[in-house]
Amino acid sequence: MLARNGWLGNNEGSWHKPSICISIRHHNHNQDITMKPTLCSTLIAGLFVVAAHAGAAAPSGIDTAAMDPAVRAQDDFFRYSQGKWLKDVDIPSDRASWGAFNVAQENVEGQIRTLIDSAAQDQHVKAGSDQKMGDFYASYIDEARRNALGLAPLKAEIARIEALRDKRGLATLVAQLSRIGVGTPVEMNVHQDNKASTRYIVDLAQSGLGMPNRDYYLQADDAKLAATRAKYQVHVEKMLALAGHQDAAAIAERIVALETDIARVQWSAVENRDPVKAYNKLSFAQLKQLAPAFAWDDYLKQLGAAGKIDSLIVSQPSYLQGLDKLIGATPLATWKAYLQFRLLSTYAPYLSQPFVDESFAFRGTVLSGASVNRPVQKRAIAEINRDLGEVVGKVYVSNYFPAERKRQVETMVQNFLLAFKEGIETLDWMTPATKAQAQVKLAKIKVKVGYPDKWRDYASLTIARGDLVGNVMRSRAFAQRFEVAKLGKPVDRSEWGMTPQTVNAYYNPEMNEVVFPAARLQSPLYDADAEPAINYGAVGISIGHEISHAFDDQGAQFDGDGNLRNWWTKEDSEQFAARGKVLVAQYGGYSPLPGYPLNGALTLGENIADNAGAIMASRAYKISLKGQPAPVIDGYTAEQRLFMGLAQARRGKARDAALIAQVKADPHSPSEFRVNGSLRNHPGFYEAFGVKPGDKMYLAPEQRVIFW
């Protein structure tokens, strides 16, 4: 089980499935997806870091060497600002995508490697963070031991599955697997009640697929997805064969058939974005009526939630009904095989080399397009970052995040909040009544920068050298216990949904807070000495983006206290929806690959945040000038530099397989459209670069859309 943080899906970057804390609610966290379509990040890494590829950046901070002089800014700003980089830089073979975000993450991982290396060397350290980080790392990179153990570390769990004698026991088994992070058809989250945000509640959501989402199983008219399905079945077969099954092919067929049945009753990614539709509060008795074939008492007891709840949220009621029918209709042997495969699939990366290789062959190569796996040391650090999140975070910030930087960024965020306040006042399409409500919400936004004030206590988590699978299982169970322990307690507003070493940021509507982890404010990512205009584009875009999430099509349905409550007049609500329709159509007209247009409805929230965030960056920059004129540097006006910063920070490219996964399942648009798509609606961009009718970036004024 991963961290449950409600609507944390509203992060600025990409969909980091395996990361502990970016849980996109209703987004099936436990579906074992390991690809990282990171190209969509808004991150700030780009210019200061990537400039190094062709020498130093110009005084303006612009990476002029990355630009393509053959492309006009007015025709394709994304390629104008970084066309040469896009042509010259290859995606590393162990990556699905590459860009500013990845460079930043690599830097942070290097810093953490230094910390962990020193912790891992001393076998005699027997206490505290060093012991946990050091022994976890040692257990991960000890490939000789992993190979010697083979499947043995999963023996007890496999025996438990084999011992299942009737369908009544399915619920207990599902809960036990779910507790150690295995993706099962139902997942339980604990988060704030969206209509009573001062209390925690349990949420049940669909999950349990091995491919990114239902489209991969069901879409019949897509040759690439059909090929992926065929490869998936072969992958399931190979994994079962590795685990010693004689009739692996026949079993694999039944498993994929069951997953396809599960996919058929799941909600689509677009349906799952609707917080009102997904808010279905049921009493425990009603839940049992809804899906009687599943032993809910046993399930909740096993997860430690029994007796702590009188009602819960069912995100997708029709899914639970469908699943209920599938429990009746599918033979017990198929359920057992399916659950064993889910276990294998989740834990293969921590087993012997054949399992690691087969897991990568499908998840890394087929689903994401990478040709070689990342080195074991890097995989180890990623795992420790996830499982020992705040253990690492605490050591990381004490070494790499000075207090002064926290204050600097907090000041910058205040300028953005001021910019948003001004923006609301000047909106021409909104009535004063709704404006007043929006201001109330804005004034209640809480800002968190760098790291938590209060650290999570990991004392009860045992990490043992030489027991990698055990370490992972105990860590996942620890995280799950942490979530369930919240039930019945007051909401902890000091909690963080991302670790400080995460190169990303988020808005959480339940807490009404924007959160900027230290790792994304790290030099050279954040440069306090850099010329301000470029910082307001490169760094500010993500600040504006996150604040805008409070007012995107999802966020705007929550009030300042984190409750799902409609504070809009009917008229304004209709105006907002009409603007949404225009944006859905605009982005639906963009295709990163022929035949794979963006899903304008799936990406609407992120696109609104990109659009509003860019406008807010311009406005916040003007506020920061305090009436002083801005200089021209390297021949660029301040506004031009801001847009260059914005675009170069979002540089990125991805392999086709990763792009397809992104288009199907990720609420973020690919980088190119995050830049060009939002600037085409930005009046300041037209002024800054003199965009005119006939230019390819040009949209007629009546086709442009401004939300905030």
609 part of the interface to Zn ion, by CB under 5 A: yes
Subset of residues 588 to 607 that bind Zn ion, contact rule: CB under 5 A: 606
The one-character DSSP state at 41 is: -
What's the min distance (Å) between Cβ of 422 and Zn ion?
Answer: 22
Return the number of the residue (495 or 606) whose C-beta is nearest Zn ion. Answer: 606
Say whether residue 484 binds Zn ion (CB under 5 A). Answer: no
Q: Least distance to Zn ion from the beta carbon of 409, Å? A: 18
Nearer to Zn ion, 340 or 554 (CB): 554
Query: Which parts of 317-356 interact with Zn ion (CB under 5 A)?
Result: none
For Zn ion, give the closer residue by CB, 531 or 606: 606
Instruction: Give the residue with the Cβ less far from Zn ion, 12 or 531.
Output: 12
Q: Which is nearer to Zn ion, 364 or 600 (CB)?
A: 600
SS3 per residue for 310-372: CEEEECCHHHHHHHHHHHHHCCHHHHHHHHHHHHHHHHHHHCCHHHHHHHHHHHHHHCCCCCC
Query: For Zn ion, which stretch binds (CB under 5 A), given 6-14, 66-74, 190-198, 370-378?
Result: 6-14
Q: Is 541 in the site for Zn ion (CB under 5 A)?
A: no
Tokens of 32: 């074992």
What's the closest the beta carbon of residue 559 comes to Zn ion, in angstroms? 20
Q: How far is the CB of 665 from Zn ion (least distance, A)?
A: 15
The minimum distance between CB 15 and Zn ion, in angstroms, equals: 10
Q: How many CB atoms lie within 10 A of CB 69?
A: 9
Interface stretch with Zn ion, choices 10-18, 117-125, 280-288, 338-346 (CB under 5 A) = 10-18
CA distance 360 to 41: 23
Q: What is the distance between the alpha carbons of residues 478 and 457, in angstroms, rounded to a whole number? A: 11
Considering beta carbons, is residue 5 or 74 the nearer one to Zn ion? 5
Stretch that binds Zn ion, among 8-16, 231-239, 403-411, 645-653 (CB under 5 A): 8-16
Q: Which is nearer to Zn ion, 13 or 208 (CB)?
A: 13
DSSP 276-296: TTT--EEEHHHHHHHSTTS-H
Where b means 16+ CB within 10 Å and e means fewer, 551-561 reads: bbbbbbbbbbe
Contact 12, 43 (CB under 8 A): yes
We find the least distance from the C-beta atom of residue 100 to Zn ion, in angstroms, to be 16
193/606 with CB nearer Zn ion: 606
**Residue 442 makes contact with Zn ion by CB under 5 A:** no
Whether 97 contacts 657, CB under 8 Å: no
CB of 610 to Zn ion, least distance (A): 8
Quickly list H helices, 427-530. 432-443, 468-484
Residues 198-257 that bind Zn ion (CB under 5 A): none
Cβ at position 609, least distance to Zn ion in Å: 5
Q: Are strands 97-99 and 652-654 parallel, antiparallel or unpaired?
A: antiparallel
Of the ranges 9-17, 20-28, 52-60, 63-71, which one interacts with Zn ion (CB under 5 A)? 9-17
Per CB under 5 A, 12 contacts Zn ion: yes
User: What are the distances in angstroms from CA 629 to CA 101, 623, 637, 703?
Assistant: 32, 12, 11, 32
Q: For Zn ion, which is the closer residue by CB, 344 or 514?
A: 514
Q: ∠663-50-73 over CA atoms, to 5°? A: 65
In whole angstroms, the minimum distance from the beta carbon of 573 to Zn ion comes to: 22
Question: Which tokens sit at 50?
Answer: 């990537």
Q: Which stretch binds Zn ion (CB under 5 A): 11-19, 138-146, 366-374, 494-502?
A: 11-19
Is residue 135 close enough to count as binding Zn ion by CB under 5 A? no
Question: Which is nearer to Zn ion, 382 or 609 (by Cβ)?
Answer: 609
666 binds Zn ion (CB under 5 A): no
Q: Which is nearer to Zn ion, 524 or 613 (CB)?
A: 613
Residues 6+ apart with CB under 8 A from 435: 424, 425, 427
| Residues facing residue 282 across a β-bridge | 312
Q: State in angstroms the smallest separation of the CB of 545 from Zn ion.
A: 6
653, 617 contact by CB (below 8 A)? no
Nearest-approach distance from CB 164 to Zn ion, in angstroms: 41
Only one of the segments 61-69, 142-150, 178-186, 608-616 lies at the binding site for Zn ion (rule: CB under 5 A); that segment is 608-616
Residues 6+ apart with CB under 8 A from 525: 43, 44, 45, 48, 49, 104, 107, 503, 519
**Shortest distance, position 350 Cβ to Zn ion, whole Å:** 31
Quick one: CA torsion of 570, 574, 580, 582, rounded to 10 degrees?
-170
The torsion angles phi and psi of 450, rounded to 5 degrees, stand at: 95, -75
Cβ neighbourhood burial of 647 (10 Å; 0-12, 13-18, 19+): buried
Q: How far is the CB of 546 from Zn ion (least distance, A)?
A: 7
Q: Which is nearer to Zn ion, 43 or 138 (CB)?
A: 43
Beta-ladder partners of 218 = none
DSSP state of 513: E
Strands (E), 236-280: none
Least distance in Å: CB of 642 to Zn ion? 20
Report d(CA 535, CA 647) in Å as an integer. Answer: 12
Nearer to Zn ion, 461 or 616 (CB): 616
Closest separation in Å from C-beta 505 to Zn ion: 8
CB nearer to Zn ion: pick between 7 and 396: 7
237/606 with CB nearer Zn ion = 606
Judged by CB under 5 A, the number of residues near Zn ion is 3
Three-state DSSP at 99 gives strand
Q: Which is nearer to Zn ion, 606 or 639 (CB)?
A: 606
* DSSP symbol at 632: P
> Residue 467 to residues 18, 130, 244, 360: CA-CA distances in angstroms?
20, 17, 22, 21
Four-residue CA torsion sign, 691, 694, 697, 700: positive
Q: By C-beta, is 438 or 608 nearer to Zn ion?
A: 608
Least CB distance to Zn ion at residue 316 (A): 23
390 touches Zn ion (CB under 5 A) = no
Q: Is 227 exposed, middle or buried (0-12, 13-18, 19+ CB in 10 A)?
A: exposed
Sheet holding 513-517, edge to edge: 446-450, 513-517, 506-508
The least distance separating Zn ion from the CB of residue 496, rounded to whole angstroms, comes to 17
In contact, 593 and 660? CB cutoff 8 Å: yes
Binding region for Zn ion (CB under 5 A) = 12, 606, 609
